[in-house]
Chain A
């Protein structure tokens, strides 16, 4: 099946700094990528949907200036957590969909962010 990678897999940063997480589709072109956040022992919460070359669509309650999403190419989307705070600590997962009319999202392995 299609492979999606995330980098880094784990990051620890200090409060007030910014962190960038990369999501790459390795063997297909992803017209749409999704960013999720997962708190411990909870479900995945969709943060935003991004289409290549256009602005991301954020879900209600997600601060777009806090979580910057860039989908610059058909194989790469980045999520930047700006001015991170301890409450931003979470597991961030991206997924990608291929082509139009796709019905399956391919998920990355996730990035564990810890803000100290």
Chain B
């Protein structure tokens, strides 16, 4: 079945760059997403990338997609303490049932 994996924890110092990685198994994935979840809250869409793209940049966020290796990454430049949260990648295939398959989540801790 479909599977989306992420490393569980990442700790960085304020001002450094953070890189959160995600691997997926469904080669038919059309859209891939990055969501942020703060404690006790819902999910906030950070960015998404279409499967025919290799890279997408949006202010401090850079998404890289290696479709051959089924690897997705999110780079956060100049990481701030407010970036501390859990980050989920997700994949979907709109030609199917529009379901999202979420990754296991990466807890990012930013040290002042």
Partners in one complex: yes
A103-B30, A112-B40 known; A43 and B94 CB under 8 Å? Answer: no
Cα-based distance from A19 to B15 in the complex (angstroms): 45
Chain B residue at minimum C-beta to C-beta distance from A36? B102
- A residues within 8 A CB of B92? 103
- 9 more A-B residue pairs beyond the given contacts A6-B42, A49-B97, A49-B98, with a C-beta to C-beta distance below 8 A: A41-B107, A95-B100, A102-B98, A103-B30, A105-B98, A107-B35, A107-B42, A107-B44, A110-B42
Taking the closest CB of chain A, its distance from the CB of B2, in whole angstroms, is 11
Give the residues in chain A near B97, CB-CB below 8 Å: 49, 57
Residues of A within 8 A of B44 (CB): 107
Counting chain B residues whose Cβ lies within 8 A of the other chain, the interface size class is: 20 to 34
Q: How far is the CA of A112 from the CA of B39 in the complex (A)?
A: 12
Q: Is the CB of A43 within 8 A of B103?
A: yes
How far, in angstroms, from A95 to B100 measured CA to CA in the complex?
A: 10
- Identify the B interface with A (CB < 8 A): 30-31, 33, 35, 40-45, 48, 88, 92, 94, 97-105, 107
| B25, chain A: closest CB distance, angstroms | 15
Q: How many residues of chain A have a CB within 8 Å of chain B?
A: 24
Report chain A residues within 8 Å CB of B41. Answer: 109-110
A97 touches B43 (CB 8 A): no
Report A46 CB to chain B, min CB distance, Å.
6
A87 contacts which chain B residues (CB < 8 A)?
none
Q: How far is the CA of A74 from the CA of B13 in the complex (A)?
A: 45
B88: chain A residues at CB < 8 Å are 43-44
